[in-house]
Structure 1
C-alpha cells in the first residue's frame, strides 16, 4: 500500500469517527431535550393534581359548613289543622278523619327530603280538607351522619317542642325545605331557636328545651323500639331492616307509588 493510499484511508477513518461522535452528540442532545420535556410534564402534572386536591378540599369544607351562620328560612305554610303531640309522635289533622297514616322520617335523611318534596303538599291538602290525619314520628336515625354529630336528634327534639307551641307543621316544613346535607354541618341550637322565633314562638320553654334536649331520651328510646319492630322492616340493599321514610296505614307498610295517597284517601286501599 502506497503512502497516498494510507493517507486517504486515515482521512476516511477520521471522518467516520467524527460522524459517529456527531451522531452520539445529537442523540444525547435529543435525549436531553426529551428528558427535560418529561421532567417539565411531570412537574406540570404534580402541580395540577395538587391544585385539584386543594380545590376539592376547599369545596368540600365550604359545602360541609354551608349552614354555618345561616338563618333558616321560615316556611310559608298556612294551615288551621289541629296539632297534638302524643309522646314523641305529632298528630296533625282532624282526629275523626277517615284515613290515618303514620310517617317515620329523619330531618337529615335525603330520601325523606325527597319524600317531602314530592308528597308534602298533597298530604297537607288532604289534612286541610279533613280527609287525612297524619301521625309524624321524628326519627333520630342519622345521629352520627352530621358533622358535628347530633343534628338528627336535635332537629327531632326541636320539632316536638315546636308542636308544644302549635307550630309543628311550619317548623317541620322549614327544616325539610332547607335540609342540610347528610355528612355536613346541621343547624345549631341557636339557629333552631331563631327559626322558632321567626315562626312566632316566644316562650323560654322552647329555647330551654332545645338547649337541654328536652325529649332526647324519649326519642332515643322510642327509636330503638321502632328500629327493632319487625312490622316496620323492609328489604333493602343491605338486607331487611328499618329505613326512612316509612309510611304505614292500619299497621301495614304503604308502597310509595305515585298514586299511593289518592288510593288511601279514596278508600281503594294501599
Structure 2
C-alpha cells in the first residue's frame, strides 16, 4: 500500500484549502482596509489641494481687483491744472463714485485754457509733446495760458502684458498727489525716450528713475511706494472710462475718441501734432474768439 494515498490525503487537502480560504479572506479584508485608507488619504489630498487652489485664486483676485479708493489729490477734474508760475492748483481727493469737478475756465477769456488727454504709450502724444511742450510751458509760466493734463490708459493692453499705460498714468497721479508742482515736468519726462507701442514699456523701477530725473525731490519715498502699490490704478481706469464715455466738460465734445485729445477754450484742435506754429496760431484764434464772446459789446452813446 502506498503511503499517503487518496483516502488518507483528503483531510489534509481540505485543511489546506480551508487555510487558503481563511488566508485569502484575511488578505481581502486587509486590502479593503488599505483601499479605504488610500481613499481617505486621496480624498483628503484632493480636498487640501482644492482648498489650496481656492486660496490661491482668492489671493490672485484680491491682488488684481483692488477696491476703488479715493483718487489723487490735486486732480479733482480728472486732470492736473497748472497755472501761472507752473504752480498746480490744489484740490481735495476725489472720493470713490464721486463725479469729477470740472475746472473753471478764465471768465474774462484773456487766458487760454489748454486741456490735453494723454496716454503715455501713445506715439502721437509723444509727437505733440516734443513739438509743443516748450511753448506751452512758456505760456503757462507767464500767465498767458493754463494747461490741464488728463492721464488716461487706453493702451493698457498694448505693452506685452505689462500694463505700462496704466502704470505710467498711476505714477503721474502719485506725483500729482505728493508733489503737485512737479507734475508738469514729470509728465513731460515720461515722453523722453518714450517706449514704443507694443513694447513692454518701462518697469516700475525705471518709472521711479524718471521721477528722480525729472527733479522730483519731495516725498520720493511715498511716491515710490505709490508706484509699486499701484495706488491710483482703479482711479485711472475710472477716469479713462469717464473720458471715453463722456461728456467732456466745458466743451461740445461728447467724448474723447483717442489720444491725444487737445482742446483750447473748449475747442478741439485737429491740426498738425508736430507743428508748433500751427498750434500756436490755433491757440491765438481760440483765445480771440473766446475774448470776443466774453467781452460785452459797448453800447453806443446817443448823439446829442
TM-score, normalised to structure 2, is 0.54
In the TM superposition, residue 157 of structure 1 has moved relative to its aligned partner by 0.9
2:115/2:148 contact within 8 Å kept: yes
Decide which of 247, 251, 264 is 2:266's aligned counterpart.
251
Give the aligned partner of residue 154 of structure 1.
Answer: 167
1:113/1:179 contact within 8 Å kept: yes
Report the RMSD for the aligned CA atoms in angstroms.
2.5
2:151/2:169 contact within 8 Å kept: yes
Residues of 2 paired with 1:219 and 1:232: CA distance?
Answer: 21
Give the aligned partner of residue 227 of structure 1.
Answer: 244
SS in 1 for 2:80: strand
2:156/2:165 contact within 8 Å kept: yes
In the TM superposition, residue 183 of structure 1 has moved relative to its aligned partner by 0.4
1:90 has 2:67 as partner: no
Instruction: After TM superposition, list the pairs within 5 Å mapping 1:1-270 onto structure 2.
Output: 84-86=74-76, 88-94=78-84, 98-164=111-177, 165=179, 166-198=181-213, 199=215, 200-229=217-246, 231-232=252-253, 242-257=257-272, 258=275, 259-265=278-284, 267-269=287-289
Unaligned runs of 5+ in 1: 1-82, 235-240
2:112/2:265 contact within 8 Å kept: no
SS in 1 for 2:115: strand
In the TM superposition, residue 188 of structure 1 has moved relative to its aligned partner by 1.0
1:232/1:242 contact within 8 Å kept: no
Deviations 1:232-260 (A, max 9, x none): 468xxxxxx71111112333322235523
In the TM superposition, residue 87 of structure 1 has moved relative to its aligned partner by 5.3
Change in CA separation of 1:232 and 1:214 when aligned onto 2, cut-off 3 Å: farther
Residues of 2 paired with 1:243 and 1:173: CA distance?
Answer: 19
Residues of 1 paired with 2:288 and 2:77: CA distance?
Answer: 31
Residues of 2 paired with 1:250 and 1:132: CA distance?
Answer: 10
2:118/2:261 contact within 8 Å kept: yes
Residues of 2 paired with 1:99 and 1:106: CA distance?
Answer: 23
Identify which range, 188-197 or 101-110, moves more after superposition.
188-197
In the TM superposition, residue 107 of structure 1 has moved relative to its aligned partner by 0.5
Deviations 1:39-60 (A, max 9, x none): xxxxxxxxxxxxxxxxxxxxxx
Residues of 2 paired with 1:128 and 1:229: CA distance?
Answer: 30
Residues of 2 paired with 1:150 and 1:254: CA distance?
Answer: 28
Residues of 2 paired with 1:233 and 1:135: CA distance?
Answer: 18
Deviations 1:22-74 (A, max 9, x none): xxxxxxxxxxxxxxxxxxxxxxxxxxxxxxxxxxxxxxxxxxxxxxxxxxxxx
In the TM superposition, residue 269 of structure 1 has moved relative to its aligned partner by 3.7
Give the aligned partner of residue 18 of structure 2.
Answer: none
Residues of 1 paired with 2:79 and 2:142: CA distance?
Answer: 21
Deviations 1:150-191 (A, max 9, x none): 100111111121223131122112111120000012111111
More strand by share: 1
TM-score, normalised to structure 1, is 0.60
